[in-house]
Chain A
Amino acid sequence: MNNPTRGFKLRTAIFSVFTLLLGLLSTPAMAAYPERPITLIVPWGAGGGTDATGRMIASLLEPELGQPVNVVNRTGGSGVVGHSAIATAKPDGYTIGVATVEIGMMHWAGLTELTGKDYTPIALYNYDAAGFQVRADSPWESVNDAVEAIKADPGKHKSSGTGQGGIWHLAMAGMLNTAGVSPDASPWVPSKGAAPGLQELAAGGVDIVTCSIVEAAALIDAGKVKALAVMDTERNGAFPEVPTLVEAADLDWQMAAWRGLAGPKGMPDDVTAKLTEAFEKVWNSAEFQEFMKGRGFGLVWKPGAEFSEWMDNSDAALGEVMQAVGLAK
């Protein structure tokens, strides 16, 4: 009972809640950037993976930058609203945001003109490959079984995991395309994200869900769902028994969702450098590493130009598959 950290923790808790309440009132003045609070835009809703990582980064950036970092959820329009808000903000470093894989998809779908080139890349921090999940009592034991079944009976086996034309839809369509099967052979049932898609899978509404394997972890653990492959070049550390798509079915196809920190185009170099430096410290911190690993998020670090190159490659690859499967406008 005489835990010395308890008093400290209680104080932290009290302090935390009060800073929370008073956060909006603080207006200190300093000469160098940042001299006022920073806004971090998350283009997806509170509670999702992007929001969780965004909030974690914001709370860890605060002590590094010495300024409050406020998370703002700008949701809707399949990510268009939030991504536009980041791109069109004043490029002074006081508005940054989390850019997600959808930035390379939305313009192909004709939803916006924005591409990765409209941002100042700070750093890529997360990367999660798609998995190939079926119900635990499914007769399919491998991806080959599934592909054969889809080929034999086009239109019968439905798949789900995200909205129409979303990242996991592309994962499924691209895989079928690589296997020489028409992507329409397994009709896509749009869902509001991975969790409702997995619910459909468990309830017997669909046969395949191609969300990331970490999103399916609880249901795999519960014995309701099994993963047959990951669409990556390497196996996932948390699921070493699940083969890659190349190993499972000799299909050379990878698809992954990613998240990175970015600002509007044309941010001053010193500001970008300061943010990158602070973010690198955050990324390397024990708290961040523990948080990401705890949730099963894949960790990767690609700052500045490397992130830019990553976005370009991702954009081109996504465009190719979207055109191949008829999702591009």
Chain B
Amino acid sequence: MPVNIDAVGRAYGPHEPYEVTRIKIREFADAVDARSFAHRSEEAARAEGYPDVVAPTTFAVVIAQQAEFHVVVDPEVGVDFSRVVHADERFTHHRPIIAGDLISATVHIDDIKQRGGISMVTTRTELSDEDGSPVSTVTSTLAVREEA
């Protein structure tokens, strides 16, 4: 079954907020070879002008991918996850993510383009903090191959 182009405009969430912890930031920093001590020590982060440990640039993906999962599992959208390849990704940060943040995510299906047996599904995940202020916008396109 091909991806349903009528799904454009659908939105999911926000669901349970994500609590950003120091240990998760450190774990992610280790995994992507982000070497600054500001990802590991509150003191080093303060010296850089942040109230607590600051997340690496792409940490927002941890939260965004959880939100995007709601699109992938929606049977009315029709994405076959075994046929998915990640095509592109973009982060626009309105402010850095800091340990202690409680982040809510809402994912929007912005576009679906179909050509040559491939559906390009573009989602935009808006991350906001406890006050409702914008934190990051994460845009992701998945290429879904239709069955031959």
Q: A and B: partners?
A: no
Residues of B participating in the A interface, judged by any CB pair closer than 8 Å:
none
Residues of A participating in the B interface, judged by any CB pair closer than 8 Å:
none
